[in-house]
Amino acid sequence: MSTAIVELLGASKRFGGTQALNGVDLTLRKGEVHALVGENGAGKSTLGKIVAGLYAPDSGELRVDGVPVSRWDPIRAQRAGIVMIAQELSLVSQLTVEQNVFLGAESSRLGVLKRGTTDRFRALLELAEFDLDPKAPVGTLSIAQQQKVEIMRALARKARVIVMDEPTSSLTAHETAQLHTLIRGLREQNRSIVYVSHFLDAVLEVADTVTIMRDGVRVRTAPAAQETKSSMVEGMLGRELSVTFPPRRPSVNESVPPLLTLEGVTTAAAHDISLQIRPGEIVGLLGLVGSGRSEIARAIAGADPITGGRMIYRGTEVSRWNTRKAIASGVVMVPEDRHAQGLVLERSVKENISLAFLDRFSTLGVISSRRERAGAQELADALSMRPPRIGLDVGGLSGGNQQKALLGKWLVGEPDVVILDEPTRGVDIGAKATIYRLIADLAERGVGVLLISSEHEEVLALSTRAHTVSGGTIVGEIDPATLGVSDLLAHLFSVDLTIGATA
């Protein structure tokens, strides 16, 4: 056993009325990749943030290199060589790669910047084996490249421990593989990684040790080799549960008139989109991140102006389509980013659920709080939100419950066409099952569903039909019932290559 760098003994942390951590032990050893897994709200992120000094434990002991530490904050953690890479990357997008890497650690004399940090930068590049242009503005880079910048920033601070919070949540499968290669490289340099994630496959692939959290308590710590996906899920949930998909909906007869037809629809970000959605159908859009899936969704939802082609809804061609018209006529989109696009975090669950359909709960512009409360409560109960108190601020809920609130917000209007963009992003397994059932129920009731997800397995398991998307347009149709995820990925990547070649 190699030496312990960070040790936590009986660490507890409380936020207001929530006990986020309760007497947790953790030992992080030199040169190990230590994964923290658990449902949303289990305390895995909090634990990671304590290691990185973002939070100090309320009680319990923290030892760094065997020495008990009494005061703990990000600066002390950095001095001890512990750096955090947050889920929302914290780079300054206007500054260049190099400026970001050395931000706060600039070489200067009496505050005047020294020229020629480039050597320092090149040494770091070699250490990390990256290919980044030091002069490129960070805002122009992909998320995966920005993550590399974050890692270099950690290395520039001579980090021995890097805490990564959900590092793969915005990455494609390919980029995830790259990140994992990189993490293994860091491990070989005897650095330690704390890997907070709910992507269990990724955890199994890269971690040496896994700590499973549930309700702020450590369930167990074990070598990753001894864990399987189902053993981890069991530990996280405290019971056995396999992610089961509801039975696939039967395909809808082509003679049924479509609810929505797109003929060569073009917007600023998507072009020449043709597709149909019939009542009771779940149509999947499969593609890599950045392929244009969300842009197609935005066009249908009226979020981006349509500049070419025709969109026919219930037999009538729409004109001057916008979000207001779309919502009023029953076409809604559950957007992919619930924080940036979906919810008003400082407002209550009730207000969030009713926001898009206030007309239903008001007379002549005056809101009936009785009707609003009843409507919101009904959705909150139907989605089994925890806690079921609609007066709470949405921002204080766990990710899974926020996602349920977001779904409730759009379903409260009883829409006819629902576009679901990443409906299960960042939610725990229990919430996922609820959401899958909900999607199937919607189709059962005759709603037309357009389903987009980076978890291709979901799309393949739920869809009645599916299209592949690349370069901002639809490139093919596949039968989700016969295609496996690995076939699909091969398909998607080859499609990307051909597009790249012809462009």
Partner 1 sequence: MTTATATPTRISRITPASALLFLRDYAVLVLLGIILLVLAIATPSFFTFANIVNILNQNAPLAIIAVAGTFVIISGSFDLSTAAIYAVCSVAAAWVAVASGSVVLALLMPPVIGMLLGAFNGFSVTVLRVHSFLATLASSLIFKAIAVLITGGALISVPLDGFSELGRGRIGGVFYSVIILFIFIAVMWFVLNGTVYGRHVFAVGGNQDAAQLSGVSVDRIKVAVFAVSGLAAGIAASIGVSRIASGQPQAGEGLELAAIAAIILGGTSINGGMGAVWRSVAGVFLIALIGNGFDILGFNPQLKNLVTGVIILAAVALAAVGVKRR
- Return residues touching partner 1 (CB under 8 A): 15-18, 20, 40-41, 43, 45-46, 49, 87, 165-166, 301, 303, 323-324, 326-328, 333, 335, 340-347, 351, 354-356, 358-359, 362, 365-367, 369, 387, 391-393, 395-399, 401, 409, 426
If the CB atoms of residues 142 and 323 are measured against partner 1, the closer one turns out to be 323
If the CB atoms of residues 248 and 373 are measured against partner 1, the closer one turns out to be 373
If the CB atoms of residues 222 and 367 are measured against partner 1, the closer one turns out to be 367
If the CB atoms of residues 142 and 341 are measured against partner 1, the closer one turns out to be 341
Neighbours of 325 (CB within 10 A): 14
If DSSP codes are grouped into helix, strand and coil, which group holds residue 339? helix
Amino acid code (one letter) for 172: T
If the CB atoms of residues 101 and 431 are measured against partner 1, the closer one turns out to be 431
Sign, CA dihedral 162-168-169-175, equals: positive
If DSSP codes are grouped into helix, strand and coil, which group holds residue 119? helix
Least distance to partner 1 from the beta carbon of 335, Å? 6
Nearest to residue 7, comparing CAs of 46, 76, 65, 54? 65
If the CB atoms of residues 308 and 387 are measured against partner 1, the closer one turns out to be 387
Least distance to partner 1 from the beta carbon of 204, Å? 21
If the CB atoms of residues 399 and 471 are measured against partner 1, the closer one turns out to be 399
Least distance to partner 1 from the beta carbon of 40, Å? 6
Nearest to residue 196, comparing CAs of 219, 167, 160, 232? 167
Q: What are phi and psi of 113, to 5 degrees?
A: -60, 135
Least distance to partner 1 from the beta carbon of 168, Å? 14
Nearest to residue 404, comparing CAs of 327, 449, 349? 349
Least distance to partner 1 from the beta carbon of 444, Å? 26
Please, are residues 124 and 76 in contact by the beta-carbon 8 Å criterion?
A: no
Sheet of strand 260-266: strand arrangement? 273-277, 260-266, 308-313, 316-317
Token pair of 373, please? 């409360």
Least distance to partner 1 from the beta carbon of 499, Å? 29
Classify strands 260-266 and 308-313 as parallel, antiparallel or unpaired. Answer: antiparallel
Tokens 């600039």 belong to residue: 106
Token pair of 370, please? 């009785």
Least distance to partner 1 from the beta carbon of 295, Å? 14
